Structure 1
Amino acid sequence: MKKLKKFSYLILILLAVTACNDDVKDEAINKNMAKVKAPPVVKEYGFVLNDFEVVVDTIARGDFFGSILDKQGVSPGKVHEISEKVKDTFNPARIIAGKKYIILKDKDSAQTPKFFIYENDKINYTVVNLNEPAAYKAKRPVTIKKREISGVITSSLSEAMQNQGLSNLLVYELSNIYQWSIDFFKLQKGDQFKMVYEEKYIDDTIFAGIENVEAAVFKHSGRPFYAFNYETDSITGKANFYDEEAKALQSFFLKAPLNYSRISSRYTKRRFHPVQKRWKAHLGTDYAAATGTPIVSTADGTVIASSYTSGNGNYVKVRHNSKYTTQYLHMTKRNVRNGQRVKQGDIIGYVGSTGLATGPHVCYRFWVNGRQVDPYRQNLPTAKHIENEHKEAYFATIDELKQRLDSIPYQEI
Structure 2
Amino acid sequence: MAAAVVVGCLAIGFGLSSGEKPQPEEPLVIEQEAFPSNAELAPEPPVDTFAAVTEPAAEQPWNEQVVRSGDNLSLIFKRAGYNDRHVHRVVTESEHGKGLARIYPGQTIAFQSDDKGELVAVRHVKDKLQTVSYRLEDGHFSSQLLTREPELRESSATGVITSSLFMAGQEAGLSHTTIMDMANIFGGVIDFVGDPRKGDTMHLMFEELYLDGEKFDDGEIIAASYNNQGKTFTAYRYTDSNGETGYYNEDGVSMRKAFLLAPVDFTRISSNFNPRRIHPIYKTARPHRGTDYAAPTGTPVYAAGDGRVIQAGYSRANGNYVFIQHGEQFVTRYLHLHKRRVKQGQRVSQSQVIGTVGSTGAATGPHLHYEFLMNGVHRNPRTIHKQLPKAKSLAASELPRFRQAITGISAQLAALQQETDTRLAMANASEDRG
Choose which of 86, 90, 93 in structure 2 pairs with 1:85.
93
Choose which of 197, 208, 227 in structure 2 pairs with 1:199.
208
1:43 alignment partner, SS class: helix
What is the rounded CA distance, in whole Å, between the counterparts of 1:117 and 1:56 in structure 2?
9
2:382 alignment partner, SS class: helix
Note if 1:313 corresponds to 2:319: yes
1:242 aligns with 248
2:143 aligns with 135
What is the rounded CA distance, in whole Å, between the counterparts of 2:78 and 2:136 in structure 1?
12
Query: Which amino acid in structure 2 is aligned with residue 389 of structure 1?
Result: S
Q: Which moved more, 1:369-378 or 1:131-140?
A: 131-140
Aligned-pair distance for 1:327?
1.4
Note if 1:45 corresponds to 2:13: yes
Query: Which amino acid in structure 2 is aligned with residue 43 of structure 1?
Result: A
1:120 aligns with 126
2:275 aligns with 269
Could you report, residue by residue, the CA deviation over 1:295-342 in whole angstroms, capped at 9, with x for unpaired residues? 221010011111233322222111101111111122233222221111
Whether the 8 Å CA contact 1:169–1:209 is kept in 2: the answer is no
What is the rounded CA distance, in whole Å, between the counterparts of 1:311 and 1:394 in structure 2?
50
Whether the 8 Å CA contact 1:156–1:187 is kept in 2: the answer is yes
Query: Which amino acid in structure 1 is aligned with residue 155 of structure 2?
Result: R
Whether the 8 Å CA contact 1:90–1:126 is kept in 2: the answer is no
Task: For 1:19-98, list aligned pairs within 5 A.
Answer: 43=11, 45=13, 50-51=21-22, 52=59, 53-56=61-64, 58-61=66-69, 63-86=71-94, 89-98=97-106
Q: Percent identity?
A: 32
- The alignment yields a C-alpha RMSD, in angstroms, of 3.0
Report the structure number with the largest CA radius of gyration. 1
Q: Which moved more, 1:359-368 or 1:296-305?
A: 359-368
Whether the 8 Å CA contact 1:314–1:333 is kept in 2: the answer is yes
- Taking a change above 3 Å as real, the CA distance of residues 346 and 119 of structure 1, as seen in their structure-2 partners, is same
- Taking a change above 3 Å as real, the CA distance of residues 206 and 309 of structure 1, as seen in their structure-2 partners, is same
- TM-score w.r.t. length of structure 2: 0.75
Whether the 8 Å CA contact 1:303–1:318 is kept in 2: the answer is yes
Note if 1:299 corresponds to 2:299: no
Note if 1:373 corresponds to 2:379: yes
2:276 alignment partner, SS class: strand
Query: Which amino acid in structure 1 is aligned with residue 358 of structure 2?
Result: G
Aligned-pair distance for 1:87?
8.4
Structure 2 spans left out of the alignment, 5+ residues:
1-9, 23-58, 428-434
Whether the 8 Å CA contact 1:331–1:350 is kept in 2: the answer is yes
- Taking a change above 3 Å as real, the CA distance of residues 368 and 160 of structure 1, as seen in their structure-2 partners, is closer
- Taking a change above 3 Å as real, the CA distance of residues 335 and 60 of structure 1, as seen in their structure-2 partners, is closer
Whether the 8 Å CA contact 1:90–1:135 is kept in 2: the answer is no
Choose which of 334, 338, 342 in structure 2 pairs with 1:332.
338
Aligned-pair distance for 1:159?
4.2
1:116 alignment partner, SS class: strand
What is the rounded CA distance, in whole Å, between the counterparts of 1:283 and 1:158 in structure 2?
28
Could you report, residue by residue, the CA deviation over 1:275-313 in whole angstroms, capped at 9, with x for unpaired residues? 222213222222222222222210100111112333222
1:129 alignment partner, SS class: strand
- Taking a change above 3 Å as real, the CA distance of residues 103 and 140 of structure 1, as seen in their structure-2 partners, is farther
- Taking a change above 3 Å as real, the CA distance of residues 149 and 102 of structure 1, as seen in their structure-2 partners, is farther
1:180 aligns with 188
What is the rounded CA distance, in whole Å, between the counterparts of 1:260 and 1:211 in structure 2?
21
Structure 1 spans left out of the alignment, 5+ residues:
1-41
2:402 aligns with 394
2:234 aligns with 226
Q: Which moved more, 1:392-401 or 1:293-302?
A: 392-401
Using CA pairs below 8 Å that are at least 6 residues apart, which structure has the higher relative contact order? Answer: 1
Higher strand share: 1
What is the rounded CA distance, in whole Å, between the counterparts of 1:244 and 1:305 in structure 2?
39
1:34 aligns with none
Task: For 1:138-177, list aligned pairs within 5 A.
Answer: 138-163=146-171, 165-177=173-185
